[in-house]
């Protein structure tokens, strides 16, 4: 029997650990990125995953796990950037960024549980390549919304799409993880 809650938290904790370490090393240099640049960073990672899924070989030796972790963390960065005031300091303390990470990760996890209830954990029967494709589709949606200056007629906004991408990446990481003994 699977335990989505503990698997999800283990993945988020792994992503958070790397995020906090990189924030300690680099500070919040990502604050310079405009939302469209963050979307492009997520696109690069998802496109690399798709290329590796199709070609089955990496010339730089990195596997797709790190790319999915990058997608999770960039989605959280995107949500932070969307909500941080334009006049917020460029450099933020590690503790503040860690708290923001937790806030948006928890909000996104809660959304996942609501959707997971309604969809009956359908993601467990999906191929990882389908999760990659869904992330790429969501990126294209976000790009279109960004090109429309954030205006939508009948669609969810950018943040909801980042949350979905984050959850798809977590699902992929759960599926890529070795089963618990």
pLDDT, tens digit, 9 for 90 and up, residues 61-83: 678 999 999 999 999 999 999 99
pLDDT (0 to 100) of residue 1: 41
pTM for this model (two decimals): 0.92
Residue 70: partners with Cβ closer than 8 Å, 6 or more residues away: 41, 45
Distances (CA, A) of 178 to 7, 79, 132, 175, 181: 11, 30, 19, 8, 9
**CA–CA gap between residue 93 and residue 89 (Å, rounded):** 10
154: which DSSP letter? S
The mean pLDDT value for 11-24 works out to 97
pLDDT exceeds 80 at position 60: no
**Residue 9 and residue 181: Cα distance in Å, rounded?**
18
- Both tokens assigned to 29: 């240099």
146-160 pLDDT, tens per residue?
998 878 888 888 999
């Amino acid at each position: 029997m699977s335990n989505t809650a503990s698997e999800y938290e283990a993945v988020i904790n792994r992503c958070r650990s790397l995020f906090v370490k990189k924030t300690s090393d680099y500070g919040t240099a990502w604050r310079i990125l405009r939302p469209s640049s963050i979307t492009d960073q997520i696109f690069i990672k998802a496109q690399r995953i798709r290329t590796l899924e199709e070609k089955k070989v990496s010339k730089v030796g990195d596997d797709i796990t790190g790319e999915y972790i990058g997608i999770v963390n960039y989605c959280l960065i995107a949500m932070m950037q969307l909500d941080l005031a334009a006049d917020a300091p460029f450099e933020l303390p590690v503790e503040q960024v860690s708290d923001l990470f937790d806030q948006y990760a928890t909000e996104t996890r809660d959304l996942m549980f609501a959707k997971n209830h309604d969809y009956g954990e359908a993601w467990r029967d999906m191929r990882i390549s389908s999760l990659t494709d869904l992330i790429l589709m969501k990126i294209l949606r976000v790009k279109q919304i960004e090109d429309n200056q954030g205006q939508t007629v009948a669609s969810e906004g950018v943040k909801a799409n980042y949350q979905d991408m984050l959850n798809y990446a977590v699902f992929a990481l759960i599926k890529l993880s070795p089963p618990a003994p």
